[in-house]
Amino acid sequence: MNASAGGDFVGVIDTSLLRGELRVRESMRKHVSWRAGGTAEYFYLPADLHDLALFLSQLPRTEQVWMIGLGSNLLVRDGGLRGVVVALHARLNDLLLIEQDQAGGLIYAGAGVPCAKLARFAALHHLAGAEFLAGIPGTVGGALAMNAGCYGAETWQIVDKVRTIDRAGELHERNPEDYIIDYRHISLKQEPESVGKEEWFAGGWFRLAQGDQDISRQKIKALLTARIHSQPLNFPNAGSVFRNPTGDYAARLIEASGLKGYCVGGAMVSTKHANFVINNGDATAADIEAVIAMMSNAVKERIGIELIREVRIIGDARRNRE
């Protein structure tokens, strides 16, 4: 293992068995799309799924674990995170065509595969139904964890089964029937063997219909063009901050509350898409969180609708000394 870490943590685990990279006090600004926030106490880059299983199996049960992909739906507070962050992007990156016939095919994608890469891979193999994933700026693991979607399609509509990994490093295969699947939310049904256990998505199998490569590519191109025109992609952001309430759009409600362009420090409600908060270059996590709170409060007070946050906010609000 390549370890830049020291102290008690490394003494707890047998580093000779590991092939990944362990870091200490890693700045999370480099690993979240908002480019803001504090440091992780420990940060692990597994070599592959087997290495991740060995790493998890050695961790003390009291150690907090945070799994991340591209960090595109995440805000880490300025005080940082206790415990260990495990980064899966480009690590759990298997992308395989498992089977294909005249009706369609089955693709396996690891949790660290970018959603856009899965969309292009499916199109390449003349499989339709995954084009919408090109519009999701995250990884397969994150898409599974939150049932990510856009333009009328959602991740779990194409899931055949998933692979998960638990705190003991044990792997499981689960079917959609094992989960409560909702809009931007997934939870494991509390079966006796799963009570009190943490599990994370390690990958998934996606069942897709037979399609046409050119048509799929055209759909992906049109979707990406629409994103460029409607979203502030030239500034650091984390995508949609709030879920759309039933029968309405969070962006419309935020704009109707007069918050387009509202700023706190270097954080601002986008003037291009009101459900996006952008980093103008020097925003702290506290700035971003304050803008998010204002958006939620304003919509509730002025329109009477309570918005549900889509992005995850984790960590300690106190700023670390770096």
- Surface-to-core class of residue 13, CB atoms within 10 Å of its CB (0-12 exposed, 13-18 middle, 19+ buried): buried
Which are the contacts of 32, defined by CB distance < 8 A and separation ≥ 6?
68, 71, 72, 74, 75, 76, 238
240 is catalytic: yes
* Start-end of H helices in the chain: 8-12, 49-58, 115-124, 140-146, 213-230, 250-256, 285-303
For residue 34, give the 3-state DSSP assignment.
Answer: coil
- Considering 131, 154, 289, 310, which one is annotated as catalytic? 310
184 is catalytic: yes
321 is catalytic: no
- Find out whether 59 and 65 touch, Cβ atoms under 8 Å: yes
Q: What are phi and psi of 28, to 5 degrees?
A: -80, -10
- Surface-to-core class of residue 270, CB atoms within 10 Å of its CB (0-12 exposed, 13-18 middle, 19+ buried): buried
In the Cβ-directed half-sphere of 292, how many Cα atoms lie within 13 Å? 27
Q: Which residue type occupies 301?
A: E
- Considering 77, 91, 184, 207, which one is annotated as catalytic? 184
- Considering 240, 257, 270, 296, which one is annotated as catalytic? 240
28: closest CA among 85, 93, 73, 83? 85
Give catalytic residues, as residue numbers.
Answer: 184, 240, 310
